[in-house]
Structure 1
Amino acid sequence: MDYLTFFLAILYMYKALCEEVFWDTTVKLAENMTLECVYPSMNTLTQMEWFKINMMKDESIALFNPTYGVIVRKPYADRVYFSNSTNASNDMSLSFHNASEADIGFYYCSLHTFPHGPWKKMIQVVPSDTFEVAVPSTIQTVSELGKNVTLTCQSQMQWQFQEVTWEKIQPHQIDLLTSCNLSQGSSYTSKYPRQILSNCSQGMRRTFITMPLATASDSGLYRCCFKASTGETETFTIRLTLTEGKTNNHYILFVAGGAALLLLLALLITIATVISYKRRRRRQKRGLFKEYWDTQNKAASNHRSPVPTNQPSDGTGEDIYVNYPNFFRRPKTRV
């Protein structure tokens, strides 16, 4: 990155902080990137223009007029284009290809509409290695498409907070939704392309945002951050999931039922394993006992008394000697 450009960026950031300039969107530098500029109303667009902010004078990049079409300034020719420039569109996003470190900096899109007049959105492009990585979500929220969705967070600390902000986190950009000055009770509403309702009052420790009639694009990761004047922060991240045709309770019951079935399956597998192990142990013991028994019988057979070839008879047709199973023969008592 050019040192002069970096120095100028630092100076402008300092100026912006002193003037309380809010950056509506922070974009990660990429070879192909898009700077979003979506006007949230359907008022008639009379003209719009993209600028890059410089210390001396803002640099015009591209211009769109519904009557005269598109003009791209020479330094940016063949490198930028309007993603969707039609007469009926309120999307004036600017796309870059073959972007480089020279494109790091601060931009804004300026729209003139009838009858509401001017509208401006501020964007900063930062190096990819300094782009903030979102922390894992700490709260899971499930809602239904088409419903009003409210996300809430409450501070647990005793610090004297100065500001609370809400943001939507994406892999390539971070959108500021609202910012509330807690000492004054005044708020800034970002140029986010959908309506966001929020609360803002002096000294509040519980904040919320509401998105009316939630759509699929509202799913994702949200963050609220309490900031103190001394620099301490308290941050909450919320993962919002929107489902179609299922209420929050039904979804939770479905997830809970699935978890219970998995637990039951694991329990059955464990029981079957234990039973199989015990059966194998019993079979092994029976095998050892049978082997021992056969060995004893064989040893006893080797010490048995021989059986006479011609056994004496008692006249009754029965032999005087009878066979006993206990390894020897005993004479039968005469009557």
Structure 2
Amino acid sequence: MGYLAFLLAMLHVYKALSEEIFWDTTVKLAENMTLECVYPSADTLTQMEWFKVTSVEKEAVAIFSPTHGVVIRPSYADRVFFVNSSMAPNDISLSFHNASEADVGFYCCFLHTFPQGTWEKVIQVVQSDSFEIAEPSISHIVSEPGKNITLSCQLPMKWPVQQVTWEKIQPHQIDRLACCNFFQGRNYTSKYRRQVWTTCTQGSRRSFIILPNVMASDSGLYRCCFQASTGENDTFVMRLTVTAGETSNQYIPFLAGGMAFLLLFVTLFTVTVTVISYNRRRKRHKRDLFTEPWDTQKKAPNNCRSPVSASPPTDDTREDVYVNYPTFSRRPKTRV
């Protein structure tokens, strides 16, 4: 009986070892690295746990409860911490300090939420030399913020495609966005931090994903991976650029130059008009000083002239005279 139990236990271990762990994100090992875990819904978080996962067991790393706070297991004390110190309800990313090769492996972010229940995300940490480098992009898509962008790829006709996977490539990590098994007609539920729309239809020869309301953070490389039932595989890479203000910023130098030119033109025009007006007034003033009126020439010279003209000019001959002296207020005469 004991021998049979031992064989069953060995069979269970062998089965567990042979099963491939399905990962949501691949992270390149670094001395200081972050395992990103952001719950994409607004449900209430009741408890969260981080585990290091092997084929036979789960090793507890950290646990968080809104009621009881944070607990770091002794083997990870002083080496891991939560990125969001304020513990936002949906962001429970975990950072490593002084990480080493012993930290390579699979990690699970396991959440208890209300009312949806449990939710988990699996993150794979790999060696730097094992981190897959993305192929050069083939197509380039440019979009403005706020639009719905569709990324699509045509499946090859030379062999039967069994599975198509969409990924976003970053220098430090690879996020799995969608995975469709065409033979089974099953679609993978993405654990990516933003919403992604896709379909999974048996017999389809084209695969696509839709990114609704794109933002600047959506810019980057996207890869479509094909896998055939016969073992062949191929990839198609495209680049998305969301011009978050870049399009308008490139016109700023031209606008600034145009404004400067307009200001210079207005300044020169004002100075020119002022000089011309000043010269005209100066000529008129000289003419008035050296030319006596006709009725003055008829009269005898008289040194006692009245400071006020007896016959003020009419409206037609009135002219503004600009005198460079201060204006004094007139005081009324005091009656005796």
Under TM normalisation by the shorter chain, which class is it?
0.5 to 0.7
Match of 2:105 in 1: 105
Letter in 2 for 1:108: C
Match of 1:35 in 2: 35
How far apart in 2 are the matches of 1:210 and 1:133? Answer: 24
Out of 6, 19, 28, the position equivalent to 1:16 is 19
How far apart in 1 are the matches of 2:155 and 2:46? Answer: 44
How far apart in 1 are the matches of 2:233 and 2:55? Answer: 31
Deviation, structure 1 residue 244: 3.5
8 Å CA contact 1:142, 1:241 repeated in 2: yes
Alignment pair present for 1:175 and 2:175: yes
How far apart in 2 are the matches of 1:106 and 1:13? Answer: 14
Aligned runs of 1:245-260 on 2, under 5 Å? none
Deviation, structure 1 residue 246: 8.4
Segments of 5+ residues of structure 1 without an aligned counterpart are: 1-10, 255-335
Q: TM-score, normalised by structure 2?
A: 0.67
How far apart in 2 are the matches of 1:157 and 1:84? Answer: 47
How far apart in 2 are the matches of 1:217 and 1:16? Answer: 35
Match of 1:243 in 2: 243
How far apart in 2 are the matches of 1:233 and 1:129? Answer: 21
Match of 1:201 in 2: 201
Aligned runs of 1:108-257 on 2, under 5 Å? 108-244=108-244
Number of aligned residues: 237
For residue 54 of structure 2, give the secondary structure of its aligned residue in structure 1.
Answer: coil
Aligned runs of 1:270-309 on 2, under 5 Å? none
How far apart in 2 are the matches of 1:224 and 1:85? Answer: 36
8 Å CA contact 2:146, 2:215 repeated in 1: yes
Segments of 5+ residues of structure 2 without an aligned counterpart are: 1-13, 252-336
Letter in 1 for 2:95: S
| Runs of 4+ that moved beyond 6 A | none
Match of 1:306 in 2: none
For residue 34 of structure 1, give the secondary structure of its aligned residue in structure 2.
Answer: strand
8 Å CA contact 2:17, 2:55 repeated in 1: no
8 Å CA contact 2:216, 2:244 repeated in 1: no
How far apart in 2 are the matches of 1:69 and 1:55? Answer: 29
Alignment pair present for 1:94 and 2:94: yes
8 Å CA contact 1:85, 1:91 repeated in 2: no
Deviation, structure 1 residue 156: 3.6
How far apart in 2 are the matches of 1:212 and 1:155? Answer: 23
Deviation, structure 1 residue 68: 1.0
Deviation, structure 1 residue 155: 2.0
Alignment pair present for 1:57 and 2:57: yes
How far apart in 1 are the matches of 2:143 and 2:79? Answer: 41
8 Å CA contact 2:16, 2:56 repeated in 1: no
**What do residues 9-56 of structure 1 show as CA deviations (whole Å, max 9, x unaligned)?**
xx8995333xxx421001111100011110001211110000001343
